[in-house]
Amino acid sequence: MAYRAVKATLLSLCISPVISAQELQFGDTLAAMDGMFEEQVMEMPEVLTAARLRQSQLDTPASVTVIEADTIAALGFKDIEEIFRLVPGMLVGYHSGFGEKAPSVSYHGTNAPEHRRLQVLIDGRSVFKPGLARVEWVDIPLAVEDIARIEVIRGPNSAAYGANSYLGTINILTKHPSDTQGKTVKYTSGNRDVENTYIKVSDRFLNSDYRLTIGSKNKGGFDYYENSGEKLDNRDGSDGVFTYFRTFTPFSSTFSMEWQGGYKKGKNKQIQTLDEDLITYLEPEDVIAEDVFIWTRFNKEFTPNQVGQIQVYGEIFKRTTEWDACLTDTLVNAYSIAQPCGELNQNLDERKSEIEYQHTSTWSSDFRTVSGMRYRLDELDSENYNGGYSNNRNTSIFLNAEYKFDSILTSNLGGMYEDDELNGDYFSPRLALNVHLNSNHTVRFIYSEAIRSPDLYEKEGRKIIRLEGSSISGSGEDPFIYGENLLGEGIWIATGDVTNETIYSHEISYFGNFRRAGVQVDLKIFKDELNGLISQSLDHDPALPLVSENHIVQTGFEGRVKWDFNIDNHIALTFSRIKTDDDFSGNNEKVSRESSLTAERSGSLSWISELQPYTTLGLAYYYVDGWNIPRTIDADGEGFNFQRIDLTASHEMKLNKDYSLGFKGTIQYRVDDDPLLYEANNYDDKEHYYLSIQLNF
């Protein structure tokens, strides 16, 4: 790893004089290209997430997809995870990894049931769970209506955000309170038990701008799953209420404070998840989910060229799962005990706390750096998943530097060093060389390394079955614990031998802005080597201990073409082609799971048109092919297909100077006949529709 980083650094130092020597004769060609695009129709987008610097997409050290609030609204998205169908190479599926049917979002796929290789930030705050690593999209206390834009870094980004920014990074940026002054009341209803409410109040109090959101979400999930040819009802719906509060207070022209807080409580229905040979359920099991966070950031401009910020946040993720159950006769007879019954408890309490300082320096017009340090505490408390309490501490420092050698070449060199109490230390480097063909076109050459560190459950988990109010005789008040009373240590025990997953990523990409035509083109070819993958189910079966040994290689190409046909019509096309190679010696038999969320081909086509003032039509087509292909020796099939057409129409009526009334309707139609990713994910009908009415004042 160190050799590769040194080699990349030397390359950046050696290539600049070569390019400078050729600049004179190359400059004539670039000038001619500039003349082709004199009339600017489409602006050059800027991004914040790629290197923690505000950069034009021509200068970023990564391929970036930006999705704006106008696009989200025009295409009728009501669930955050669905938005990522617009990102090339990104897949959105549903699984039953921890009970409830949960959305699984990934860049380039890999493992679907326990997908844990994508970093997700909201205004820079990570919502990646620390105990059982995952992102639970359903339980994020955030309304789609409060999103200003989303930046998706398509590729490893541990150099900027550390471990778990493995395949990519999503940063959801919410609307600033000063940009959303006023009040909004919105109600959405549709089939599949959709019923959402949204209330927003945004105003100014003393010297502070604030926005308060209160809302609720309800949806029914999939209709049925098949078992031995029989259709059985699914229990995978969800409902919940949430609130979100954001403030901004400028103390002076150079010093400000931001504050956010949120809370969400809901119920996620599920079907039986424990081994039916061990447990007989006396009532349905549901997960009561509670998420709460508090976040603050201080921004200080020491000089126009030296800016610092301190970010502090704490999060609590609580999952309560309690229901009446008994051990089965099979287990009772095997151990010659009376049948114990009681309250089964699979409660889970996760916490994450972090403090970070970031400093941005502009040393000259050609040289900028951003550096900083952070400390994070991860905690897991669960008698059933972990045998009690455990924690992990992570300390890290980072540096990203942008240097423009001349008008032709921009280099980005960065890395993060992490000292992790459970997983050791590691350095994640990234080098990007951006060759500017002219002021509107660039070609990137990027090499990066990243890690995903095993979570607390993978390292120290100990799964047991705990029946409260029952002893082995069935009459005592002490809990009966299968895994302690009978087996001594636990049904499933973590081996503690797993280590960091690593990825070595190679990318050549192109970003171009054809101003006169109103076209932006984003293309990427890649080769990613993923090593030390933990591919088994996280049940800690002593007979099949977790290991970090699987290796796969992903190669392919992807892209996005955006065309502003005119001021009222906008078209976007995305496409992706991925090939996964897992035929390597040393891989265990579970390596096939690393393709369960990977699709060979995927893409989207969208059209947004303003038919007349205050009337918008959005049309989108989503396509996934070769999804969840069986890869075992005896497997037969070509995987699943996904095709959906969405149509959204919206209209706003101005009632008077201060009031307006909005109407929106969306209908989704599944063109294919396949389940969604898994055989268990089925709907009774192909149509999904929902309508909303919104009052602004």
Q: Is the pLDDT of residue 6 over 70?
A: no
Choice between 94 and 338, residue whose per-residue pLDDT is larger: 94
* Domain hosting residue 105, numbered range: 2-176+192-655+672-685
Average pLDDT score over residue span 209-227? 91
Q: Is the pLDDT of residue 493 over 80?
A: no
Predicted confidence band at 4 (pLDDT cuts at 50, 70, 90)?
A: very low
- Beta strands 599-612; 640-654: pairing state: unpaired
Within 10 A of 511 (CB to CB), how many other CB atoms are there? 25
* pLDDT confidence of residue 96: 61
* pLDDT confidence of residue 637: 58
**C-alpha dihedral, 152 to 349 to 236 to 327, nearest 10°:** 140
Q: Is the pLDDT of residue 207 over 70?
A: yes
* pLDDT confidence of residue 495: 66
Q: How far is CA 102 from CA 39, 108, 138, 237, 667, in A?
A: 47, 18, 7, 10, 22
* pLDDT confidence of residue 23: 35
* pLDDT confidence of residue 469: 66
Q: Is the pLDDT of residue 568 over 70?
A: yes
Q: Is the pLDDT of residue 252 over 70?
A: yes
* pLDDT confidence of residue 8: 43
Predicted confidence band at 30 (pLDDT cuts at 50, 70, 90)?
A: very low
Average pLDDT score over residue span 243-267? 97
Predicted confidence band at 572 (pLDDT cuts at 50, 70, 90)?
A: very high
Predicted confidence band at 26 (pLDDT cuts at 50, 70, 90)?
A: very low
Provide, rounded to the nearest whole percent, the portion of the chain with pLDDT above 70. Answer: 85
* pLDDT confidence of residue 243: 98
- How far is it, in rounded angstroms, from Cα 238 to Cα 219? 6
Length of the chain: 697
Q: Is the pLDDT of residue 491 over 70?
A: no
* pLDDT confidence of residue 90: 96
Q: Where are the alpha helices (DSSP H) in 36-116?
A: 69-74
Q: Does residue 664 sit within a domain?
A: no
CATH number at residue 395: 2.40.170.20
- Of these ranges, 176-180, 266-270, 396-400, the one predicted with the greatest mean pLDDT is 396-400
* pLDDT confidence of residue 98: 45
Q: Is the pLDDT of residue 513 over 90?
A: yes
* pLDDT confidence of residue 630: 61
Q: Does residue 526 sit within a domain?
A: yes
Average pLDDT score over residue span 246-272? 93
Q: Does residue 271 sit within a domain?
A: yes
Predicted confidence band at 12 (pLDDT cuts at 50, 70, 90)?
A: very low
CB 180 within 8 A of CB 211: yes
Tally of domains within the chain: 1
Average pLDDT score over residue span 144-149? 97
Q: Is the pLDDT of residue 78 over 90?
A: yes
Q: Is the pLDDT of residue 25 over 50?
A: no
Predicted confidence band at 609 (pLDDT cuts at 50, 70, 90)?
A: very high
Within 10 A of 236 (CB to CB), how many other CB atoms are there? 23
Mean pLDDT of the chain: 86
pTM for the structure as a whole: 0.90
- How far is it, in rounded angstroms, from Cα 13 to Cα 8? 9
Q: Does residue 697 sit within a domain?
A: no
The count of C-alpha atoms lying within 13 angstroms of the C-alpha of 65, restricted to the half-sphere facing its C-beta, is 28
- How far is it, in rounded angstroms, from Cα 694 to Cα 660? 8
Q: Does residue 663 sit within a domain?
A: no
Q: Is the pLDDT of residue 9 over 50?
A: no
* pLDDT confidence of residue 13: 34
Q: Does residue 690 sit within a domain?
A: no
Express each pLDDT in 429-464 by its tens digit.
999 999 999 999 999 999 999 999 999 988 888 777
* pLDDT confidence of residue 590: 85
Window from 164-173, 577-586, 631-640 with minimum mean pLDDT: 631-640
Q: Does residue 185 sit within a domain?
A: no
Q: Is the pLDDT of residue 633 over 80?
A: no
Q: What is the DSSP secondary-structure string of 117-178?
A: -EEEEETTEE---SSS----GGG----GGGEEEEEEEES--HHHH-TT--SEEEEEEEPPGG
Q: Does residue 691 sit within a domain?
A: no
Average pLDDT score over residue span 393-400? 98
* pLDDT confidence of residue 17: 34
Choice between 684 and 634, residue whose per-residue pLDDT is larger: 684
* pLDDT confidence of residue 28: 35
Q: How far is CA 452 from CA 112, 164, 367, 430, in A?
A: 16, 4, 31, 16
